[in-house]
Amino acid sequence: MSDKKLWSGRFNEPTDAFVEAFTASVEFDQRLYRYDIEGSIAHATMLARAGILSEDERDLIVDGLKQIRQRIEEGQFEWSVELEDVHMNVESQLTTAIGDAGKKLHTGRSRNDQVATDIRLYLRDEIELIRSEILRLQQALLDTAEREAETIMPGFTHLQTAQPVTFGHHLMAWFEMLERDRERLADCNKRVNVMPLGAAALAGTTYPIDRHYTAELLGFDRPSENSLDSVSDRDFAIEFSAAAALIMMHLSRMSEELIIWSSAQFNFVDLSDSFCTGSSIMPQKKNPDVPELVRGKTGRVFGHLVGLLTLMKGQPLAYNKDNQEDKEPLFDTVDNLKGSLKVFADMIPAITCKPENMRRATLQGFATATDLADYLVRKGTPFRDAHEVVGKAVALGVSKGCDLAELSLEELQGFSSQIEEDVFQVLTLEGSVAARDHIGGTAPAQVRAAIGRARQRLGGE
Ligand code: ARG
């Protein structure tokens, strides 16, 4: 009735039923099956080349593993909790299928180096998928930024109107955050793509294995250096989680802005109906659920980072069963990160921008006050004095309920004799943004140049 444990030799009593379920990981680590099988095929291939397995044994093992993979994919594989994890489920069914050759697969390795290898193979694939989702989102931002290179909106500091910026410039700020994220993942992958296999339980193995060959078969950059470190190291998962936390933090900031902008009070953008939901009681509502949920998911991804750090804290070398707890947070991080990036990449092109509302808002907060100060500086006033003069002009505007550009020349000249008719050119929104015309500035020409450079950077991807 029960599947015989692969490690039962020294045991006289059966495992307590609850302990069996408590210690098993198959429920969640079965998602590693493809990597487990890929790793086993490479291991068996290496063992045969090293003369540790016969070629017939290797062929039986490789064919058997491929059949198991197919059975799993067709939903024909029965996972057993008694067999604890994905590794022992696969190995046990292999032996059932091919007999004694199956029992030789585990020669020269341990589940400790096996599981570390599986996770790295898994994460390497996921990093590639995540990087291409980021890229898709970046492309969407570039297209939208290009369309909105001249659209003027208020730029904020402290969420108070600061200076006019272009919407394209704002979107390119998001692009830059994501560019760092994509780079960070590529860098993280350098440490993910190292092969622990061959470390065996902790000390290496007595068989004449060829770790360079196995690493080559699996597309790893190199075998790991130290067997004790190899089976216990989860830095790569923590590093990935930190990169994931940063991405989610960025998405949460974008989410927050989209939520604010789509409120009736701001009304800068309209999110497409397909990314919003209604209220069951208030008929007028169109809620920005997608950005809200992404903002919310950021919390659990941060939590997983701290969870993994805490999992590893104080663990003595080498492998400890604690490490089995690395998978659920890692999988959940990957799933939620991928989902959030996908929904963002789909949502961005469907955003409608409302330039008239953005313009009206920009005209309301004395956004060109700095431009007036810079104008006075150009005419010879020291900046601190100019700041003071403009402050007074703003106070007059506040009391009259009008913008600086709506004050008369006489009124403005009352604050400084250096002000002349040409001041009104400087006080326009277009003049204000166009004047910030250097690399990194908000002038439409600079935004277009930045988009061009960004496209070139992405060109090779
Ligand atoms: N299921 C285990 C894990 O996820 C595999 C390694 C088990 N090794 C051991 N010595 N019990 O970490």
Which protein residue has the closest C-alpha to ligand 1 atom 11?
321
Report the nearest atom of ligand 1 relative to the CA of 84. 1
DSSP letter string, 101-141: HHHTTTTT--HHHHHHHHHHHHHHHHHHHHHHHHHHHHHHH
Question: How many Å apart are CA 200 and CA 309, to the nearest integer?
Answer: 24
In contact, 48 and 214? CB cutoff 8 Å: no
Mutation pick for ligand 1 pocket among 109, 324, 330 (CB with most ligand atoms within 8 Å): 324
164 CA distance to ligand 1 centroid (A)?
57
pLDDT value at residue 274 = 87
Predicted local distance difference test score (pLDDT) of residue 440:
98
> So what's the pLDDT on residue 1?
40
- Catalytic site residue 280? no
Query: How far is ligand 1, taken at its centre, from the CA of residue 117, in Å?
Result: 12
DSSP three-state, residue 287: strand
Q: Which atom of ligand 1 is nearest to the CA of 111?
A: 6
Is the C-beta atom of 25 inside 6 A of ligand 1?
A: yes
Q: Domain residues of the chain, as ranges?
A: 8-107, 112-199+225-359, 366-459
Q: For position 266, what pLDDT does the model report? A: 97
- Which homologous superfamily is 366-459 in? Fumarase/aspartase (C-terminal domain) (1.10.40.30)
Q: Which string of b and e fits 32-47 if b means at least 16 CB within 10 Å?
A: bbebbbbbbbbbbbbb
Is 158 catalytic? The answer is yes
What's the number of CA atoms in the CB half-sphere (13 Å) around residue 241? 25
Q: Ligand 1 centre from 321 Cα, in Å?
A: 6
Q: Which residue's alpha carbon is nearest to atom 12 within ligand 1?
A: 324
Examine domains 8-107 and 112-199+225-359 and report if their fold is the same.
no
- Per-residue pLDDT of the chain (461 residues), as tens digits, is 456 788 888 888 888 999 999 999 999 999 999 999 999 999 999 999 999 999 999 999 999 999 999 999 999 999 999 999 999 999 999 999 999 999 999 999 999 999 999 999 999 999 999 999 999 999 999 999 999 999 999 999 999 999 999 999 999 999 999 999 999 999 999 999 999 999 999 999 999 999 999 999 999 999 999 999 999 999 999 999 999 999 999 999 999 999 999 999 999 999 988 888 887 878 787 899 999 999 999 999 999 999 999 999 999 999 999 999 999 999 999 999 999 999 999 999 999 999 999 999 999 889 999 999 999 999 999 999 999 999 999 999 999 999 999 999 999 999 999 999 999 999 999 999 999 999 999 999 999 999 999 999 998 66
* The predicted structure's pLDDT at residue 6: 86
Domain 8-107: CATH superfamily is Fumarase/aspartase (N-terminal domain) (1.10.275.10)
Q: How far apart are CA 411 and CA 282, in angstroms?
A: 49
Topology of domain 112-199+225-359 in CATH is Fumarase C; Chain A, domain 2 (1.20.200)
Structure tokens at 143: 């297209």
- In terms of C-beta density within 10 A (0-12 exposed, 13-18 middle, 19 or more buried), how is residue 387 classed? middle
Q: How far is CA 458 from CA 13, 135, 148, in A?
A: 61, 8, 20
Task: Note the pLDDT of residue 77.
Answer: 98
